[in-house]
Amino acid sequence: MSVTVRVPAKVNVQLAVGAARPDGFHDLANVFLAVGLYDEVTVTPADALRVTCAGPDAGQVPLDRTNLVARAAEALAGRYGRTADVHIHINKDIPVAGGMAGGSADGAGALLACDVLWGTQASREELLDICAELGSDVPFSLVGGAALGTGRGEKLRTLEVGGIFHWVFAMASRGLSTPAVFREFDRLTEGLDVPEPVASQPLLDALAKGDPEALAAAVSNDLQPAALSLFPELADTLAAGRAAGALATLVSGSGPTTAFLARDAESAAKVAEALRTSGTCRSVRTTSGPAPGATVTR
Ligand code: C5P
């Protein structure tokens, strides 16, 4: 018997970042929107814990115990006094090291899949606790939809979304390390008074209304200057999307994937085509959000 869970990627429509805390993390006001790019995580009973991965970026995925899927299985097994004797296979479609929470999605997927396979029947709260131990973005991957994350991003409040938003994502030629982008944020803001991060009310209203123009006027990402500083060519990708009629352009999370909000599906297809021929990115995908969180499919 095996269990398969499908988990979505995310884009941060607002990422407000505070000053570094004593523990090195940053307080955030992080508005997550799950979008319809998915990884699939399948767990099957095995003699010992083993991780495999398939997909175009599979070569960049670590298959050892540091992978969040292995850590998720071990965390759940540890709590229930059993061994994590499973083969975990990741079918990877979310870009690796792209700022779209692909690794976090896999962690949430493995956790839910093991819970079902083992019949542990952990409560939602317990699963969310384990997710928060695994990483700041992992709880959101479990719940999906749209949510405001505070603290280091792990304390979630579900948000209402009144419509479907159409997006184009441009994948970059290389990845960016999230800790490196936060370190660059610290360097760029050194000596400055970094305000407390707060969610933008116009942005929350735009989500609730399902209004792409209003959302476009309100999106922001405080990590964008840091990502552009480490990867200046991203400015060319953003400019190409803007010239093609995107309502808003932004770096997704810590990058380097760039995100383009479109008025509708037709406009998204036009922006995607322009980006594909711009020579400023490795590949392009169109999708929409909100998308559901981790879901058992088999
Ligand atoms: O929580 P997660 O393991 O995903 O975070 C990866 C890295 O990103 C952290 O080690 C830290 O350097 C940085 N980070 C941060 N503040 C946050 C979230 C992440 O500084 N709120």
CATH code of the domain covering residue 169: 3.30.70.890
**What would the mean pLDDT of 140-159 be, rounded to a whole number?**
97
* Residue 199 pLDDT: 98
* Residue 195 pLDDT: 96
Nearest atom within ligand 1 for CA of residue 135 = 1
> What does the mean pLDDT of the chain come to?
97
DSSP strand pairing (26-45 vs 146-150): antiparallel
Distance 26 CA to ligand 1 centre (A): 7
Q: What are phi and psi of 181, to 5 degrees?
A: -70, -40
Whose CA is closest to atom 2 on ligand 1?
A: 135
Known catalytic residues? 10, 137
Q: Give the count of domains, the chain.
A: 2
* Residue 190 pLDDT: 95
* Residue 9 pLDDT: 98
Give CA–CA dist 145/211, Å, rounded.
16
Query: Is the distance from CB of 167 to CB of 287 less than 8 angstroms?
Result: yes
For 15, the token pair is 């990422």
Whose CA is closest to atom 3 on ligand 1?
A: 135
Query: Is the distance from CB of 267 to CB of 213 less than 8 angstroms?
Result: no
**What would the mean pLDDT of 226-246 be, rounded to a whole number?**
98
Q: Is any ligand 1 atom within 6 A of the Cβ of residue 26? A: yes
One domain, residues 137 and 229: no
One domain, residues 19 and 116: yes
**What would the mean pLDDT of 250-254 be, rounded to a whole number?**
96
Nearest atom within ligand 1 for CA of residue 26 = 16
- Which of 264, 13, 39 is closest to 147 using CA atoms? 13
Helix, strand, or coil (residue 168) = strand
* HSE-CB for 24 with a 13 A CA cutoff: 6
Residue 298 pLDDT exceeds 90:
no
Query: pTM for this one?
Result: 0.96
* Residue 58 pLDDT: 94
Last residue of a domain, one of 159, 174, 200: 159
**What would the mean pLDDT of 31-50 be, rounded to a whole number?**
98
Last residue of a domain, one of 105, 136, 159: 159
Distance 203 CA to ligand 1 centre (A): 24
Residue 164 pLDDT exceeds 90:
yes
Percentage of residues in the chain with pLDDT exceeding 90? 98
Query: Is the distance from CB of 25 to CB of 136 less than 8 angstroms?
Result: yes
One domain, residues 34 and 82: yes
Distance 104 CA to ligand 1 centre (A): 12
Is 298 inside a domain boundary? no
One domain, residues 8 and 141: yes
Burial 107-141 (b: 16+ CB within 10 A, else e): bbbbbbbbbebbeeebeeeebbbbbbebbbbbbbb
Residue 207 domain boundaries: 165-289
